[in-house]
Structure 1
Amino acid sequence: MIRACLALLLVLAATISAGSAHAQSRSAAFVADMDSGQVLHARQADAPRHPASLTKMMTLYMLFEAIERGDVALTDTMTASAEAASRPASDLGLAAGDTIEVEQAIRALVVRSANDVAVVVAEHLSGSESAFAEAMTARARELGLTSTTFRNASGLHDPAQLTTARDMARLAHALHRDFPQHFHYFAEERFAYDGATYRNHNSLVGRVEGVDGLKTGYIRASGFNVVTTSQRGEHRLVTVVMGGRTGSVRDAHAEELIEAAYTALDARAQSRLLASLDLPRLNPVRERELMTAELAGLDGPVAVGSNDGAPAAAVILADADPLAEPRLVTEPAWAVQVGAYASQAAARARLESLSATLGDAEIARAAPVTEPVERQGRTLWRARFDRLDADAARRVCERLARMGEPCFAVSPQA
């Protein structure tokens, strides 16, 4: 009987240059499975950051709540004050006394990120922007955004307006969970108003597979921010990148995190399937010395993906196998490791699958081996191709990295 999957560690590494957004000191990133709550990637996720126009996600949450309470309707009109009309771009160019329907305001906030419209909404719901900001903060705390303080409705700079990447992921999850009937607005790519057509600042929507929202933001103090949600198969993810040096670098980093996360989740699903097969077993071997960096910190979420230039990779822990008994054999030279599993059968199946996928002479000459290793009271099974020279090991790992597969080369001294 195959037992439930024990754990999943993702090692998500971007291939942007060292000068890219995630290498900057103010950058932060966070990826989580919205259904399970499992954290797949975290870098500076709890460090304070300026939200910029990500603030409008909370403005929209408050507006959606008002709609569901019956306080306002999509066809209601709201009037712009002189205060609202004075807000700088991005805006719709509203003048004092102009009116805008609630549904138009939603689209203007999502697509145009209109600062004047944010103030219109705030004043319509709370009488003043400052009162609305207090209500935003109070509601955010109720939603679990414990490190977030709002000072305005638009995200224009205020030194005290702060949040974290983790809190923005929580807000995205709350929007999707609480207002599925309104979530389609976040997928809109264009918005037409008063003879002008505006394009969504979130270039990931409609371009990256599965991405269906949410919001971008930028002020000088924050750098370039983005929150996205995406759905592929059974997995819905929320991805947050904050502090990008440019919009294009921010988007590239977010896309890489999304792709690496889904690749690793697919690998986990495959490992579960393969672990259920009745496969012949290899005798395990035990390594003399454990690599200190391998599988560190199994007991909690792991901050991963901050190594510049490293390929995306994943380590999957599959199902426990109590029947395996270790024995020692002579250790060969270089090897490549393609995963660590909680059953020898799963490790064996992974090696067979990759042998068939690669299908070259280099792999044919290698020796597929499974090796037990103890980690925090658990027995894991390494899956390795052994008896390679250094150049061959590096070539195999480079090929696997290009395919999005986990791999690292192991030297004889490791």
Structure 2
Amino acid sequence: MRRVIFLLMILCLIGPKTAFSARQSGRLPVKAAMVTEYGSGRVLFTQDPDKRIAPASVTKVMTMYLVFDALAAGRASLSDKVKVSRRADATGGSTMNLRAGEVVTLDELMRGMAVASGNDAAVAIAEHFGGVPRWVEMMNEKARELGMTNTTFKTPNGLPAPGQLTTARDLMKLATNYLRRYPQALRYHSTTEINHCGAVHGNTNRLLGVCEGVDGIKTGYVGSSGYNIIATAKRGDTRIIAVVLGGRTKQARNNSTTRVLDASFSGTIGSMMAAADSASPDDDAPVRISHRHARKGHHMKALRVAEAERHAKIGAHRGASARLEAHESAIKPSRHGKTKSGKATKTHSASRTHSKHHKKAGASGR
């Protein structure tokens, strides 16, 4: 029986449809992706663009879109005062640390959503404009207007809800129309940090200042989808938009996004995605065992050889992403409130206050 089980394991490892083989064919280590050239609308790359996935906090782009619509129609002003409700205060996941009873401006809430990915800010905005149910109806009406045929919103912030799904193609429609209609929105999305009531919140989009030209727009995470991002970058006169959904880690998502942006600007995205040796190795990728070793029964030797080859590929890829990792490490606060470089930093008090909500909701703007 043990021999049968072992042979089945070998067949799984050497099968043509393993994750390793997928990466060798040029696929990104994410669930779905789409890349376009903003000016012409030309599609540069797709990977399962119609696969339905939970949007997570990229949902907030739609909420911000509707606020800009209200501003353009004269139905609101960025200086409008908004009183924070208990419901908004109690919202879990990533927050800007709003407190029930405090009064903030619409502008502050927009910054809180764009930078800190404040779920509480999105709820406060929805309530200000007539309530969460009506706001969600407006979100879905806007989605239909934009041709987002495979998208359904259930919350104003992307916190998990049954049936709340979207696709990379639909999010590309959202992002493209949003930036065409309201290019000024990038002043929110490119802001690196905000300070609300003494708590400093860094932008959840760690590609800002790391990947050349990136100036927006939104990240997201829920357990059912993984790590999502809508990113845009401008180099010279060219702007690229990339939607990357379902990374198993932040690093996988960020590295994949950086790769497609760099390749798009250099004009090599087609050949890069087709090249077998350009795929991103992943620490958790299954080990591929050669038929020769498997047939001879050299099980341990085969595993050691395959493992060594995998780590060699990982090492090569890590060299390309070292700058991104160094940036993440440098801004990560230590227990004593300092970065690894020794620079003092203020911590986000909401992370402790809302920790129980975060675990329950399983969502944030990461």
TM tier, smaller: 0.5 to 0.7
Partner of 1:259: 262
CA contact (8 A) 2:27 2:273 kept: no
CA contact (8 A) 1:41 1:304 kept: no
Check 1:307–1:165 CA distance in 2 against 1; reply closer, same or farther (3 A cut). farther
CA contact (8 A) 1:91 1:116 kept: yes
List structure 1 segments (4+ residues) > 6 angstroms apart after TM superposition: none
Q: Which amino acid aligns with 1:305?
A: M
Partner of 1:94: 98
Partner of 2:198: 195
| Shift of residue 230, structure 1, vs aligned partner | 1.1
Partner of 1:333: none
| Shift of residue 244, structure 1, vs aligned partner | 0.4
Separation in 2, partners of 1:30, 1:132 = 28
| Shift of residue 23, structure 1, vs aligned partner | 3.3
Q: Which amino acid aligns with 1:52?
A: A
Q: Which amino acid aligns with 2:264?
A: A
CA contact (8 A) 1:43 1:305 kept: no
| Shift of residue 248, structure 1, vs aligned partner | 1.3
- Structure 1: give runs of 5+ residues left out of the alignment: 1-13, 268-301, 313-401, 403-414
Partner of 2:252: 249
Separation in 1, partners of 2:27, 2:156 = 26
Residue 145 of structure 1 pairs with residue 151 of structure 2 = no
Separation in 2, partners of 1:85, 1:99 = 12
Q: Which amino acid aligns with 1:153?
A: P
Aligned with 1:66 (options 39, 63, 70): 70
Separation in 2, partners of 1:142, 1:157 = 24
Considering Cα pairs closer than 8 Å and 6+ residues apart, tell me whether 1 or 2 has the greater RCO: 2
Q: Say which one has the larger Rg.
A: 1
Q: What is the TM-score of this pair, normalised by structure 2?
A: 0.66
| Shift of residue 95, structure 1, vs aligned partner | 2.6
CA contact (8 A) 2:33 2:168 kept: yes
CA contact (8 A) 2:29 2:256 kept: no
Say which SS state the counterpart of residue 112 (structure 1) adopts: coil
Superimposed CA distance per residue, residues 53-101 of structure 1 (whole angstroms, 9 cap, x where no aligned partner) = 0000000001111111111111111112222111103112323222211
CA contact (8 A) 1:43 1:303 kept: no
Superimposed CA distance per residue, residues 320-356 of structure 1 (whole angstroms, 9 cap, x where no aligned partner) = xxxxxxxxxxxxxxxxxxxxxxxxxxxxxxxxxxxxx
- Structure 2: give runs of 5+ residues left out of the alignment: 1-19, 281-319, 321-366
Partner of 2:180: 177
Check 1:36–1:21 CA distance in 2 against 1; reply closer, same or farther (3 A cut). closer
Separation in 1, partners of 2:168, 2:95 = 25
Separation in 2, partners of 1:34, 1:178 = 13
| Number of aligned residue pairs | 260
Give the superposed CA RMSD. Answer: 2.6
Separation in 1, partners of 2:97, 2:255 = 31
Aligned with 2:56 (options 46, 52, 55): 52
| Shift of residue 183, structure 1, vs aligned partner | 2.5
Say which SS state the counterpart of residue 67 (structure 1) adopts: helix
Check 1:143–1:69 CA distance in 2 against 1; reply closer, same or farther (3 A cut). same
Partner of 1:321: none
Partner of 1:120: 124
Aligned with 2:111 (options 93, 107, 110): 107
Aligned with 1:37 (options 18, 35, 41): 41
Residue 23 of structure 1 pairs with residue 24 of structure 2 = no
Say which SS state the counterpart of residue 273 (structure 2) adopts: coil
Residue 162 of structure 1 pairs with residue 165 of structure 2 = yes
Residue 310 of structure 1 pairs with residue 303 of structure 2 = no
More helix by share: 2
More strand by share: 1
Aligned with 1:215 (options 215, 218, 238): 218
Separation in 2, partners of 1:308, 1:102 = 49
Check 1:195–1:143 CA distance in 2 against 1; reply closer, same or farther (3 A cut). same
| Shift of residue 308, structure 1, vs aligned partner | 5.9
Q: Which amino acid aligns with 2:198?
A: G
